[in-house]
Amino acid sequence: MSEEAKNNGGYSADSIQALEGMEHVRMRPSMYIGDVGYRGLHHLVYEVVDNSIDEAMAGHCDEVEVVILEGNGVRVTDNGRGIPIGMHAKEKVSALEVVMTKIGAGGKFDKDSYKVSGGLHGVGVSVVNALSRHLKAEVRREGKLYVQEYERGKPLYPVKEDGVSTENGTTVTFFADGQIFDELDYTYDILASRMRELSFLNKGLRLIIRDERSTDEEGNFKEDNFFSEIGLSEFVRFLDESREPLIEEVIHVSGEKNGVPVEVAMIYNTSYAENLHSYVNNINTHEGGTHLSGFRRGLTSTLKKYADESGMLDKLKFEIAGDDFREGLTAVISVKVAEPQFEGQTKTKLGNREVNAPVSQAVSEMLSDYLEENPKDARRIIEKVILAATARHAARKAREMVQRKSVLTGTGLPGKLADCSSKDPAESEVYLVEGDSAGGTAKQGRDRHFQAIMPLRGKILNVEKAMVHKIFENEEIKNIYTALGVRIGTEDDDRALNLEKLRYHKIIIMCDADVDGSHIETLILTFFFRYMRELIELGYIYIATPPLYQVKKGKKSHYAWNDDQRDKLVMDMKGAGSDSSVNVQRYKGLGEMNAEQLWDTTMNPEFRTLRQVQIENAIESDRTFSMLMGDEVAPRRAFIEKNAKYANIDT
């Protein structure tokens, strides 16, 4: 040990590790792809596809194919120019090897190659290579086929010529590394949703996805082929297919303002939700940013001007707020920025100030023209705005009554809430329990120190179909707000949440394991998604999983959460060649368990299974809630028919 180390408890210059880029990716993968769970796994595919999309945005590619292979490998093929394979002047190896093995390398940093690109930080395919146990890159370029393979980011041999090719393009085949990832099983629907989204954002680009891990009864692979001729207008129609339109045509603009390519599509529907999705270079900017601010400014100022000039606001006794102009609005905003600056908690908030004005100007011009040319639709929109303002005014009064409850009742907590003794939100959890009976059992079985119980009577209001003031008048929803300690509304935003006094960091929905219980779960989740989405995004919403069966033989008793577990327990208890009658009890309600059983199976942190509610894809989540809980019957019927084979029908 060096003298420096002896004098400093072993901490010296020798303790400092200077990791090369690829080694650092393997040691700290979450810094590059978010996590090493299913999200990070799927992010690998997006990184490879992004390279192909960059080729499409540059005008050199019109087809991308994604194939999930046996063994959970993925193959991405495009018909772009093909990654350059010539010798790199600085690195003294093929440019392909540089792209595949050097963090931050790639053509997207060269403005002559790509004016805009989709990657957030330029890490791209090299990160995928570092986190794959095996990756193969094939390049079709200049009449030849070139290939190089890698193991955990290290080349197995130099780039070599491997035949001829009459086409151009790149194929990347990779298998994620089980030493890095917690799971390696890709979900087809997650990848298909992203491919569909990319097809809308890049009109004229065909995206094909196929799953070769299994076949249907006829021997066919599952496959989808996404292609959009018109782009964002089709996207908006797709988003709103389960809502009733207020106006017939999608309002659309596409063009360049002050050097910024802007495309916007929007439509109004009869719902009460605002549904805005913004993109920068194909990246979904969940936290918004300057482009979204520009959209809102252009929309509000233009509609307000038209409404004032029409005289329709003359009899209104209160001011119209920006929120009122966006109720029932579905819109997609897409901009292309050469050097995007991202900020915010998840680096998905656009910070470029120069983008605000071009988007605002484009929206204002588009909307002004539309309102002048479509006076009937214009009137419907303004009437909708006035209705929204009236409802918001009523909702504010109802909301104030909810929040004034603390003054009237002293504690401000609902009478049904059995609170926990801990005042630390980080360790406290509340169970939203279906029914007073199950609530009583849960109160007896809980750990009073950190577990609170809030029984809910029956089915809460379906917020998808209700005006805002009706929501705050609903007794069960009022109780949820007051129990959680959440405050709603600020001077600037009537729907903003204040979570400073949130009392629990685990909010657990616990319902019966039957059809009614599933419906109640969905109603509660709809409420959280529409009015407390921040709680889902922060990871505070969970679903309890009570067992479906108790399997008993004599004094032996075990629980099962699905049919396979039940069947295995029955076989194990019977024993080889034994004819004895094992007793199987099907739990349909929480009330069928006593307090001790409920604690052992569903509430004890040591043994329970909680499912954390996450928003993997906000667009798909929005469409699902709208389809399941909205007014339109046809999309819901189609969903039920498609998924009937997965339904657990109680008899």
Per residue in 499-542, pLDDT tens?
Answer: 888 999 999 999 988 888 889 999 999 999 998 999 999 999 99
Helix 290-310 with 375-403: angle, nearest 10 deg: 110
Cα–Cα dist 434/512, whole Å: 7
| pLDDT value, residue 319 | 82
Q: Which residue has the higher pLDDT, 285 or 495?
A: 285
Q: Does residue 5 register a pLDDT over 60?
A: no
Q: Which of 159-168, 376-385, 632-641 has the lowest mean pLDDT?
A: 632-641
The mean pLDDT of 222-228, rounded to a whole number, is 96
Q: Which of 198-202, 526-530, 540-544, 624-628 has the lowest mean pLDDT?
A: 624-628
372 annotated active-site:
no
| pLDDT value, residue 12 | 40
Decide the pairing of beta strands 549-553 and 541-544. Answer: unpaired
Catalytic residue among 516, 534, 600, 616: 516
141-198 residue pLDDT tens = 999 999 999 999 999 999 999 999 999 999 999 999 999 999 999 999 999 999 999 9
Q: Which residue has the higher pLDDT, 607 or 410?
A: 607
What is the three-class DSSP state of 555? coil
Bridge partners (DSSP) of residue 487 are 498
Cα–Cα dist 545/521, whole Å: 12
| pLDDT value, residue 493 | 65
Q: Which of 331-345, 369-383, 406-420 has the lowest mean pLDDT?
A: 406-420
Written as six digits, the tokens of 150 are 């890698």
The mean pLDDT of 86-101, rounded to a whole number, is 87
Cβ–Cβ < 8 Å for 590, 546: yes
| Phi, psi dihedrals of residue 616, rounded to the nearest 5° | -75, -40
Closest by Cα among 541, 505, 544, 537 to 423:
505
Catalytic residue among 54, 494, 512, 622: 512
| pLDDT value, residue 414 | 80
226-242 residue pLDDT tens = 999 999 999 999 999 88
512 annotated active-site:
yes
Helix or strand (DSSP H, E) at 343: strand 342-343
Cα–Cα dist 87/185, whole Å: 37
Q: Which residue has the higher pLDDT, 465 or 148?
A: 148
Cβ–Cβ < 8 Å for 343, 282: no
| pLDDT value, residue 518 | 87
436 annotated active-site:
no
Written as six digits, the tokens of 425 are 């939100």
The mean pLDDT of 270-295, rounded to a whole number, is 90
Q: How confident is the model at residue 358 (pLDDT cuts 50, 70, 90)?
A: very high
Cα angle at 345 between 339 and 348, to 5 degrees? 35
Quickly list DSSP for 28-85.
STHHHHS-SSHHHHHHHHHHHHHHHHHHHHTTS--EEEEEEETTTEEEEEE-SS----
The mean pLDDT of 284-303, rounded to a whole number, is 92
24-82 residue pLDDT tens = 889 988 888 888 998 899 999 999 999 999 899 888 999 999 999 999 999 999 999 99
| pLDDT value, residue 321 | 85
4 annotated active-site:
no
| pLDDT value, residue 646 | 54
The mean pLDDT of 94-115, rounded to a whole number, is 69
Q: How confident is the model at residue 554 (pLDDT cuts 50, 70, 90)?
A: confident
Cβ density class 532-541: b for 16+ within 10 Å, e for less? beebbbeebb
| Phi, psi dihedrals of residue 439, rounded to the nearest 5° | -60, -40
Share above pLDDT 90 across residues of the chain, in percent, rounded to a whole number: 52
What is the three-class DSSP state of 629? helix
Q: Does residue 645 register a pLDDT over 80?
A: no
Q: How confident is the model at residue 409 (pLDDT cuts 50, 70, 90)?
A: very low
| pLDDT value, residue 465 | 86
Q: How confident is the model at residue 11 (pLDDT cuts 50, 70, 90)?
A: very low
Q: Which of 539-553, 559-573, 623-637 has the lowest mean pLDDT?
A: 623-637
Domains and CATH numbers, the chain: 21-191 (3.30.565.10), 232-395 (3.30.230.10)
Q: Does residue 450 register a pLDDT over 70?
A: yes
What is the three-class DSSP state of 600? helix
Cβ–Cβ < 8 Å for 434, 512: yes
Write down the mean pLDDT value for the chain. 86
The mean pLDDT of 299-316, rounded to a whole number, is 91
What is the three-class DSSP state of 338? coil
Catalytic residue among 55, 434, 494, 620: 434
Closest by Cα among 584, 589, 586, 556 to 570:
584
| pLDDT value, residue 109 | 39
